[in-house]
Amino acid sequence: MKAIIIDDERLARQELRSLLAAHKEIEIIAECADASEAQLKINELKPDIIFCDIQMPGKTGLELVEEISGTVEVVFVTAYDEHALKAFELNAFDYLLKPVKPERLAETIKKLVEKEVSSKPETNTPLGIKDTVFIKDGEKCWFVKLEDVRLFESEGNYVRVYFDTNRPLILRSLNSLETRLSEKHFFRASRKHIVNLNYVVSVENWFNGGLNLKLKDGRDVEVSRRQAVKIKDLMSL
């Protein structure tokens, strides 16, 4: 997995790089000293994961993650624990406290590897809106047409699937689902949501340059500022 380390302290970056050297699954492809530089590197290099400090000069790590797309896993590495709730609201994969303990980092890497393996689709063939998929949650099973699925919502290592009155959980990541779904019909609104555009009834401006999508079932889905640009182009607003 390709990784970028983001921290304004050079010694902190070196320490984390040294700890990650013990994990051959991780390939460090860049280091960044601030969020602006990191955003450019993320767009350019397309990492699988970022290890990101929170308190940095200028834009914080939390603000950075709010603006990047959902195709990268985020592990926050910080000396402060008061940001944990906000971090997980942004669907962060993990939250490590400095000084990072090797055994705690090993747990994170193990979970990342397990998630990557479980998220790999059996085929790379894109699914069409008329295709039927098999969904299993515990003892319950469904055959569902994708056109009937209005929303996918990330919950930790799982995704909740909304169709009819059902809301089963499946062991998948939004990243893996995004690669299988038609971009013409399904849109990655944020790190937490993929919406079926056929179920969007209205779009309104939201905070910080984002948008709010109103679905047919009355639910609101917030679109991040970065993704708002894409959906405006997609829907010709």
Task: Give the pLDDT confidence of 2-56 residue by residue, as tens digits.
Answer: 999 999 999 999 999 999 999 999 999 999 999 999 999 999 999 999 999 999 9
pLDDT mean over 67-82? 86
pLDDT band for position 143 (50/70/90)?
very high
pLDDT mean over 83-101? 87
Task: Note the pLDDT of residue 21.
Answer: 94
Judge contact between 151 and 199, C-beta under 8 A: yes
Tell which residue, 21, 162, 145, 6, has the closest CA to residue 77: 6
- Exposed e or buried b for every residue in 49-74, given b needs 16+ CB within 10 A? bbbbbbebeeebbbebbbbbbbebbb
Residue 183 pLDDT more than 70? yes
Q: Which residue in the block uniquely carries the two structure tokens 């063939």? A: 125
Residue 138 pLDDT more than 90? no
User: Across the chain, which distance is largest between two alpha carbons, in Å?
Assistant: 53
Our separate counts of H helices and E strands in the chain read 7, 15
Window from 123-127, 138-142, 200-204, 230-234 with minimum mean pLDDT: 123-127
Window from 135-139, 160-164, 213-217 with minimum mean pLDDT: 135-139
Task: Note the pLDDT of residue 99.
Answer: 94
| Mean residue pLDDT across the chain | 89
Q: Name all domains of the chain by residue range, CATH numbers in brackets.
A: 2-119 (3.40.50.2300), 132-235 (2.40.50.1020)
Residue 189 pLDDT more than 70? yes
What's the predicted TM-score (pTM) here? 0.59
pLDDT band for position 127 (50/70/90)?
confident
The amino acid at 197? L
Q: Choose between 137 and 123: higher pLDDT.
A: 137
Judge contact between 193 and 151, C-beta under 8 A: yes
